[in-house]
């Protein structure tokens, strides 16, 4: 992390949009000015906002898109687009599959939003962004320590231990710790920063336990849908998951179906094959 000049960065426009989305005094014109800093992101936002995923609505300008979607949804879109760009390059690791990683992250984000609307509706879009970036530390491992990441994945597959534990065995820390440090570098808000850092063990989050637990549950939904991250991941027990999320067990298949449908729409929007 000391090599901060080489860390992946959020584009300036994305950082500003994230800041404005958390500012109660910000208005639509402030957000439009932020988009003016990055025409490429603006173009992608308009493309996605006008896609069938959002009903094919007519949004010829970013101002119309903001009015139609709302600031929270725009923030989620911006994070999704910038994150997809960050994972578009060829991996430096032999065993790290970036498409698999993107699918796992996106499925987790969607699940966080779906569960968030049920359990913590006012934070559902923040939970989406947190879910998208919950494993951001893996990108740091992949960029700066590809050999160590490969060794951790191999160890996980060979022994059956989770990737977190394999990373700790090899380098002394795991990607949630690294992700928490990167979240600080990016000046993400506390809810997102804690969700990234503690999603593996939400009980350690004394400040945002409720939202961090939902990120943990969102990742479990992604795994149950068949979108696990690298290494060995145990598929959660449905009955125990229903108890943890405080929902009837009969509703869990519905949640899984909704997440899968939403992920299919997102992949279609980005022209990504399933």
Q: Which domains does the chain have, with CATH numbers?
A: 10-86 (no CATH), 90-274 (1.10.3210.10)
Give mean pLDDT, residues 44-61.
73
Q: How far apart are CA 98 and CA 230, in angstroms?
A: 10
Q: Quickly state the pLDDT bin for 147 (edges 50, 70, 90).
A: very high
The model's pTM: 0.81
pLDDT over 80 at 183, yes or no: yes
**Which pLDDT score is estimated for 63?**
82
Torsion, Cα 227 231 232 238, to 10 degrees, reads -20
Residues with Cβ within 8 Å of 256's Cβ and at least 6 positions away in sequence, in order, are 221, 224, 225
Q: Quickly state the pLDDT bin for 174 (edges 50, 70, 90).
A: very high
Residues with Cβ within 8 Å of 128's Cβ and at least 6 positions away in sequence, in order, are 76, 79, 109, 110, 112, 113, 116
Q: How far apart are CA 226 and CA 131, in angstroms?
A: 16
Report the mean per-residue pLDDT for the chain: 86
pLDDT over 60 at 3, yes or no: no
- DSSP-based three-state secondary structure for 19: helix
**Which pLDDT score is estimated for 38?**
72
Contact predicate 222/107, CB 8 Å: yes
Q: Quickly state the pLDDT bin for 78 (edges 50, 70, 90).
A: confident
Angle between helices 71-86 and 98-119 (to 10 degrees): 160
Q: How is residue 136 written in tokens?
A: 């951001």
pLDDT over 90 at 139, yes or no: no
Q: Quickly state the pLDDT bin for 6 (edges 50, 70, 90).
A: low
Q: Which segment of 91-105, 106-120, 192-206 scores lowest on mean pLDDT?
A: 91-105
Nearest to 44 by CA among 13, 8, 89: 13
């Amino acid at each position: 992390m000391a090599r901060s000049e080489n860390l992946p960065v959020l584009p300036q426009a994305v950082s500003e949009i994230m800041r404005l989305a958390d500012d109660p005094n910000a208005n639509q014109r402030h957000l439009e000015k932020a988009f003016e800093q990055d025409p490429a992101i603006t173009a992608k936002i308009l493309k996605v906002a006008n896609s069938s995923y959002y009903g094919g609505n007519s949004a010829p300008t970013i101002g119309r898109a903001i009015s139609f979607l709302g600031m929270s949804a725009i923030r989620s879109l911006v994070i999704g687009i910038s994150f997809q760009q960050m994972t578009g390059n060829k991996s430096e690791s032999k065993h790290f599959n970036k498409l698999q990683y993107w699918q796992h992250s996106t499925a987790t984000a969607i699940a966080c939003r779906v569960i968030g609307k049920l359990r913590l509706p006012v934070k559902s879009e923040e939970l989406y962004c947190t879910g998208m970036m919950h494993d951001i530390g893996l990108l740091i491992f992949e960029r700066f320590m590809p050999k160590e990441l490969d060794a951790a994945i191999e160890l996980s597959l060979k022994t059956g231990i989770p990737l977190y534990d394999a990373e700790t065995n090899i380098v002394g820390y795991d990607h949630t710790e690294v992700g928490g440090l990167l979240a600080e570098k990016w000046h993400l808000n506390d809810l997102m920063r804690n969700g990234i850092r503690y999603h593996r063990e939400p009980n350690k989050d004394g400040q945002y336990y409720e939202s961090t637990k939902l990120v943990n549950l969102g990742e479990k939904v992604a795994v149950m849908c068949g979108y696990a991250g690298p290494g060995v991941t145990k598929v959660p027990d449905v009955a125990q998951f229903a108890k943890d999320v405080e929902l009837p067990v009969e509703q869990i298949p519905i949640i899984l179906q909704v997440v899968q449908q939403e992920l299919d729409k997102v992949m279609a929007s980005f022209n990504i094959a399933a």
